[in-house]
Amino acid sequence: MDEASRVKIQVAQDPRNLTDLEQKHVPQILLADNFVRIKIGQISHPMEEEHYIVWVEFYADNELAGQRDFQPGDFPEAQFNKPDSGASKLKAVINCNLHGRWQNEISI
């Protein structure tokens, strides 16, 4: 993978029919009463020394509302407080050390 595709943010091409790579990288945004859980991905991503999720960023509308760094061995999930800003869109961006950045968003 070249540098340009590593920095480019990838999204699911067809959210109803994810490829193997998309199933492991597209973040799932799960809403509860007071918090938001971000799961990477539909099939849990590996968290090994050579291949792991480095970080996740969480945005309310387009403002950064939370961030978490991961280490190999961590569980590829993060929980954030639900923003009380009246945001209409929640977005997650994740970074895999091998497969680059992936994004997903939901309307609330």
In this structure, what token pair is assigned to residue 31? 């809403």
Which residues neighbour 15 within 8 Å (Cβ) at sequence distance 6 or greater?
A: none
Give the per-residue contact string, 16-55, with Fe ion (x = CB under 5 A; - = no): ----------------------------------------
H-helix segments, 9-107? 20-25
Residue type, 101: R
**With binding defined as CB under 5 A, does residue 99 bind Fe ion?**
yes
The residue range among 59-67, 75-83, 84-92, 94-102 that interacts with Fe ion, by the rule CB under 5 A, is 94-102
Closer residue to Fe ion (CB): 9 or 98: 98
φ/ψ of 79, rounded to 5, equals -125, 135
Q: Please report, as ranges, the residues that interact with Fe ion according to CB under 5 A.
A: 96, 98-99
